[in-house]
Amino acid sequence: MREAGVDEPRPADAIVVFGAAEYVGHPSPVYRARLDHAYDLFQRGLAPVIITTGGAGKDPHFSEGQVGRDYLEARGIPDVNLIAETQGGNTDESTQRVAVIMHANGMHSGLLVSDAYHLYRAKQMMAREGVTVYISPRPGSVPKTAFARWMAALRESFSYMLYRAHVR
């Protein structure tokens, strides 16, 4: 999982933030860190739009995508610069839905924000949807211990193999 150490912030048509848990309308600490990283990339002028992703999960009143969008708007990003993908139940569904949103809006490149070990799989999925992809992991998302890094790599490798078996 060499990609876990890659950070390639560069101009793109959109910054895409993959959801993580939300708690009664508030982003979890992990999701907030992803959103804050996307905020910083947006402030640097790397993309004119941020797309937040994620469905409702266990809480039918809130979706990760909408919670992320609302959080970024509260931080001062104008509504016209925010899009929420609110139906994706997993990474594969979110990448498909984001690609449709991007293509419908004439966007062709995305700067993906998630955790380091998740980005390889997300990048492959977005590229398969015809989007030029760059990645920028949230700071501090590489697990600290060798065992935790091994477990993260194993989980993502297994998830990627399942995805590849499904798309054949």
Convert the pLDDT of each residue in 8-48 to its tens digit: 899 999 999 999 889 999 999 999 999 999 999 999 999 99
On the question of pLDDT at 1 being above 50, the answer is: no
pTM: 0.85
- SS3 percent helix, strand, coil of the chain, rounded to 5, is 50, 15, 40
**pLDDT for 66:** 97
Domain count, the chain: 1
Convert the pLDDT of each residue in 46-101 to its tens digit: 999 999 999 987 778 999 999 999 999 999 999 999 999 999 988 899 999 999 99
**Boundaries of domain holding 36:** 2-167
On the question of pLDDT at 125 being above 50, the answer is: yes
For residue 150, report the phi and psi dihedrals to the nearest 5 degrees.
-65, -45
CATH code at 133? 3.40.50.620
**pLDDT for 53:** 97
Between 120 and 65, the more confident residue is 65
